[in-house]
């Protein structure tokens, strides 16, 4: 499935590529990342292959990521209008200013204007609430975002890194008040981070939010660079990521290596194909520091895992979910009475759960 086989984002008509180009690595301002020239080459390669979805944030490389995108494509109207440019607000770039971040009306409007200037565009296609501001009423946030949509400065809205109950509250408030709703949900999702399957992913499917996973390779842990064979001798460039290199991770990597061997492909592509194939996922965000990384990872779009291969990875990484997610499959059996519903046969419950047949007479 190439990049120009587009998919609609959630309950909207917005067409996006199945892999989104993540721009968190654009710029070397934090001591790591891609140079301006390399970032531009990555953008050109992605666009040349039919990609149309670029994701950044006001805080990425202190605003430089947005500026690189603006300088290279934002100011060229013929290029810009063919793209879906997504950026995020919430992070505070201004030390000492309490209103420089968060999700209040004042901070949202200011952040939007600043992003528009850096991106050199007069509208943002998809504006993400980067993370929940616990000090601001969600009604204020949604009203301010709706105003930006009606002003033509924002086309669609999304939400990232926020509890499912708060997203649901925001979505229902928008629905009942006739405000612009969220159409996308950005979450961490990978073979090593599946707890979103308890609340966030079911919520997204129920409320019409297209999921766009970030860190599908778990900060590079599933890139193929780290193996059980080189454990201890090869360490991540960012020290905090080393905590993810534990026995469970190596067990998953072992299985990825086995499947990659069967398919004559790479560990990274198998891990990406698994994420992109999950129910509810619209477009997976790929971060690439080099052009070679982008080229290699994009080939995951051509990969199709067999049912056996997917099942092996699923079984190996089944997460422990919060109550009541863990018992929901069991509770479904209480409803069906051994009948077949929607094509699924429900087994009878054990005797200690089953109703007394004699109760029929009452």
List the catalytic residues. 60
**Max CA-CA distance within the chain?**
80
Torsion angles phi and psi, residue 312, rounded to 5: -65, -45
Task: Determine the 3-state secondary structure of 198 from DSSP.
Answer: coil
Task: Determine the 3-state secondary structure of 156 from DSSP.
Answer: strand
Tokens 């690439």 sit on residue = 288
HSE, side-chain direction, 13 A CA sphere, residue 95: 1
Burial of 86 by CB count in 10 Å (0-12 exposed, 13-18 middle, 19+ buried)? Answer: buried
CB-CB contact of 318 with 191 (8 Å): no
Q: Cα dist. 190→9, 253, 258, 310 in Å? A: 20, 12, 18, 13
| Tokens matching residue 104 | 């209040």
Q: How far apart are CA 97 and CA 110, in angstroms?
A: 12
Q: How far apart are CA 212 and CA 21, in angstroms?
A: 11
| Tokens matching residue 22 | 């993540």
Q: Is the peptide bond before 324 cis (omega within 30 degrees of 0)?
A: yes
Q: How far apart are CA 22 and CA 53, in angstroms?
A: 9
Torsion angles phi and psi, residue 330, rounded to 5: -70, -40
Polymer length in residues for the chain: 362
């Amino acid at each position: 499935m190439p990049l120009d086989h587009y998919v609609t984002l959630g309950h909207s008509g917005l067409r996006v590529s199945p892999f989104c180009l993540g721009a968190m690595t654009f710029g070397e301002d934090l001591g790591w990342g891609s140079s301006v020239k390399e970032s531009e080459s990555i953008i050109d390669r992605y666009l040349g292959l039919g990609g149309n979805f670029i994701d950044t944030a006001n805080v990425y490389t202190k605003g430089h990521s947005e500026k690189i995108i603006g300088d290279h494509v934002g100011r060229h109207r013929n290029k810009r209008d063919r793209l879906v440019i997504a950026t995020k607000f919430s992070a505070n770039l201004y030390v000492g200013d309490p209103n420089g971040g968060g999700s209040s009306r004042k901070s949202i409007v200011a952040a939007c204007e600043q992003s528009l200037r850096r991106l050199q565009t007069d509208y943002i296609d998809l504006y993400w609430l980067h993370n929940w501001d616990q000090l601001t009423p969600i009604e204020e946030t949604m009203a301010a975002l709706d105003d930006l949509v009606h002003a033509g400065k924002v086309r669609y809205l999304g939400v990232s890194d926020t509890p499912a109950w708060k997203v649901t509250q925001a979505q229902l408030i928008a629905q009942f008040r006739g405000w612009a709703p969220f159409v996308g949900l950005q979450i961490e999702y990978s073979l090593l981070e599946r707890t979103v399957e308890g609340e966030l992913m079911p919520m997204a499917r129920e409320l019409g939010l297209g999921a766009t996973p970030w860190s599908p390779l778990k900060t590079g842990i599933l890139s193929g660079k780290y193996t059980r064979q080189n454990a201890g001798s090869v360490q991540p460039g960012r020290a905090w990521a080393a905590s993810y290199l534990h026995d469970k991770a190596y067990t998953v990597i072992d299985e990825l290596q086995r499947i990659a061997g069967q398919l004559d492909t790479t560990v990274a592509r198998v891990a990406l194909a698994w994420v992109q194939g999950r129910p509810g996922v619209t477009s997976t965000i790929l971060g690439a520091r080099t052009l070679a990384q982008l080229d290699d990872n994009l080939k995951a779009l051509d990969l199709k895992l067999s049912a056996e291969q997917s099942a092996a990875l699923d079984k190996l990484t089944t997460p422990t979910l919060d109550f009541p997610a863990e018992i929901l499959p069991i509770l479904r059996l209480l409803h069906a009475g051994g009948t077949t519903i929607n094509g699924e046969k429900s087994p009878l419950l054990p005797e200690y759960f089953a109703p007394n047949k004699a109760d029929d007479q009452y």
